[in-house]
Amino acid sequence: MAGHSKWANIRYKKERADAKKGKVFSRIAKEIISAVKLGGPDPKANSRLRLAIQRARAENVPNDNIERNIKKAQSAETANYSEFTYELYGFGGVGIICDVMTDNKNRIASEVRIATNKRGGTIATPGAVSFNF
């Protein structure tokens, strides 16, 4: 904590809560943008967008943010988010299928490799883990 100051303590608590919210909001924003790019801006015709909006409302994302992300996805200058599936073997040979969404394939590949190696796992060849399911 910050010490004896009441307002400093409030500030630190608020910073942690805001960081959690920001992480959730950015993840949902990526989902909405990806859904609009794949299926269009109409939630009635785009089931993926409808589900993303439902998740956003469940996480208390403001409607203004939802609408802004839909408009942002329709513009041409938006980064293209791609979805990738990584198949991993975790500690003890446990099969893991990891679906990720990113705008930079090289960065996420590096992050997945580092996290997997740090925990004692390996990246499997495509189809090796999904074969078991």
Q: Could you report the per-residue pLDDT of 86-127, keeping only the tens digit for each? A: 999 988 889 999 988 888 889 999 999 999 999 889 999 898
Encoded tokens for 124: 């499997």
Cα 59 to Cα 62: distance, rounded to the nearest angstrom: 9
Q: In whole angstroms, what is the distance from residue 2 CA to residue 13 CA? A: 10
Q: CATH 3.30.450.20: does it fit domain 82-132?
A: no
DSSP code for 126: T
* CATH code for the structural domain at 6-74: 1.10.10.200
pTM of the entire predicted model:
0.65
pLDDT for 2 beyond 60:
no
Contacts of residues 37-40 at CB distance under 8 Å and 24 or more positions apart, as own/partner, are: 37/73, 37/78, 37/80, 37/81
Both structure tokens of 93 = 């040979």
Q: Phi then psi for 80, rounded to 5 degrees? A: -85, 115
Q: Do the beta carbons of residue 49 and residue 39 sit within 8 Å?
A: yes
Q: Judge whether residue 80 has pLDDT over 90.
A: no
Q: Which of 45-54, 60-69, 82-91 has the lowest mean pLDDT?
A: 82-91
Domain ranges of the chain: 6-74, 82-132
